[in-house]
């Protein structure tokens, strides 16, 4: 059987999705609980990495198992949620075709970045938003966001250690939604490099603050010059929002 899982998590206390040698990760936590249930090691395949401190509303992962008719997937989900505690939740477990691969089968991925302006974050919002003291000019941010749409080489909008051979990606859309003192930036594309979303959001904010020009952003996108400063925003406001197949 090939089992697909839909997962949400608060990433604050974890060093990202992907398993590491000496740091707690989401993948390792779930694999450990699956091992408790199956009494053997299970390897999860995630739709992609999320960095340390990044959250997820819908991470997708899959794994292969020899068990067939005896496996109750509703019970599996419920048992996992009891073992996992409050920071990680399995929303769905379903059987999929043997060829399904959480990463390679993905057609579209959407990340969301959440910003709170003017009023500081409450204790319930801490580590869930980026707080910016002033109001942001959303129309100005929407204007510059358009330059990122389409196929580009994002070598200057990613961190070192990116996976894969190519740094070219296609951005399908960037939506900026404002409600009262909250701002959501949703970025959809065919894939993302390490730190790419946080650097794009940082470029939007720094452009709005007049700390970076449109020509500097275009030069970086065209690989005609590197950005002069680190524009990356903190991980606390970033969520893996949706994965489509």
DSSP string, 96-155: E-TT--TTTT--EEEEEEEEEESSPP-TTTTTTSEEESS---HHHHHHHHGGGSEEEE-G
In a domain, residue 185? The reply is yes
| 51 counts as catalytic | yes
Task: Identify whether 102 is part of a domain.
Answer: no
The answer to whether residue 117 is domain-embedded is yes
Instruction: Write down the pLDDT at residue 159.
Output: 87
Task: Tell me, yes or no, whether 83 and 194 share the same domain.
Answer: no
- Domain boundary (43, 63, 96) is at 96
Crossing angle of the two packed helices 26-38 and 73-84, in degrees rounded to 10: 120
User: Does 101 map to a domain?
Assistant: no
Q: How far is CA 141 from CA 136, 208, 209, in A?
A: 8, 6, 10
Judge if 85 and 138 occupy the same domain. Answer: no
Give the distance, in angstroms, between the CA of residue 196 and the centroid of all CA atoms in the same chain: 10
Number of domains in the chain: 2
Structural domain boundaries enclosing 201: 108-244
**pLDDT (tens digit per residue) in 3-14:** 999 999 999 999
Same domain flag for 34 and 113: no
Residue from 170, 162, 165, 173 nearest 221 by CA: 170
**Residue closest to 91 by CA, chosen among 112, 103, 73:** 73
Which of 68, 96, 124 is the endpoint of a domain? 96
Whether 91 and 112 share a structural domain: no
Query: Considering the domain boundaries, does residue 236 fall inside one?
Result: yes
Give domain status of residue 92, yes or no. yes
Q: Same domain for 126 and 88?
A: no
Q: What is the pLDDT of residue 85?
A: 86
State the Rg of the chain over Cα. 19
Evaluate whether residue 103 is within a structural domain: no
The CATH number of the domain where 126 resides is what?
3.30.70.660
Rounded to two decimals, what is the model's pTM?
A: 0.94
d(CA 34, CA 17): 16
In a shared domain, residues 228 and 122: yes
Count of C-beta atoms within a 10 Å radius of residue 217: 22
Q: Are residues 114 and 50 in the same domain?
A: no
pLDDT string in tens for the chain (245-residue length) = 999 999 999 999 999 999 998 999 999 999 999 999 999 999 999 999 999 999 999 999 999 998 665 679 999 999 999 999 899 999 999 999 999 999 999 999 999 999 999 888 999 899 999 999 999 999 999 999 999 999 999 999 998 766 668 999 999 999 999 998 999 999 999 999 999 999 999 999 999 999 999 999 999 999 888 888 889 999 999 999 999 99
132 and 222 share one domain: yes
Whether residue 50 lies inside any domain: the answer is yes
Over residues 46-64, the pLDDT tens digits come to: 999 999 999 999 999 999 9
- Tokens 């390490």 appear where? 194
Give the CATH number of the domain where residue 43 resides: 3.30.70.580
pLDDT at 45: 97
In this structure, the chain runs to a length of 245
Residue 61 shares a structural domain with residue 141? no
163 shares a domain with 73 = no
In this structure, the answer to whether residues 130 and 211 fall within a common structural domain is: yes
Q: Are residues 116 and 184 in the same domain?
A: yes
> In the listed set 32, 67, 96, which residue is the last one of a domain according to the structure?
96
């Amino acid at each position: 059987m090939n089992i697909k899982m839909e997962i949400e998590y608060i990433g604050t206390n974890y060093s990202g999705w992907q398993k590491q040698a000496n740091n707690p990760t989401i993948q390792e936590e779930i694999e450990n609980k699956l091992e408790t249930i199956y009494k053997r090691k299970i390897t999860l395949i995630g739709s992609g990495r999320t960095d340390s401190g990044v959250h997820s509303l819908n991470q997708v992962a899959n794994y292969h198992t020899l068990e067939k008719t005896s496996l109750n997937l509703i019970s599996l989900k419920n048992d996992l949620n009891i073992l996992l505690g409050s920071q990680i939740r399995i929303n769905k477990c379903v059987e999929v075709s043997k060829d399904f691969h959480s990463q390679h089968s993905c057609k579209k991925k959407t990340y969301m970045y959440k910003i709170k302006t003017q009023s500081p974050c409450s204790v319930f919002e801490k580590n869930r938003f980026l707080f910016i003291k002033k109001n942001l000019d959303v129309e100005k941010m929407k204007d510059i966001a358009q330059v990122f749409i389409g196929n580009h080489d994002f070598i200057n909008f990613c961190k070192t250690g990116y996976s894969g051979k190519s740094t070219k990606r296609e951005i399908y859309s960037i939506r900026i939604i404002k409600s009262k003192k909250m701002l959501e930036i949703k970025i959809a594309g065919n894939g993302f490099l390490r730190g790419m979303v946080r650097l794009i959001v940082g470029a939007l904010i720094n452009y709005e603050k007049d700390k970076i020009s449109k020509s500097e952003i275009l030069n970086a996108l065209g690989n005609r010059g590197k950005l002069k400063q680190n524009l990356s925003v903190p991980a606390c406001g970033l969520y893996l929002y949706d994965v489509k197949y």
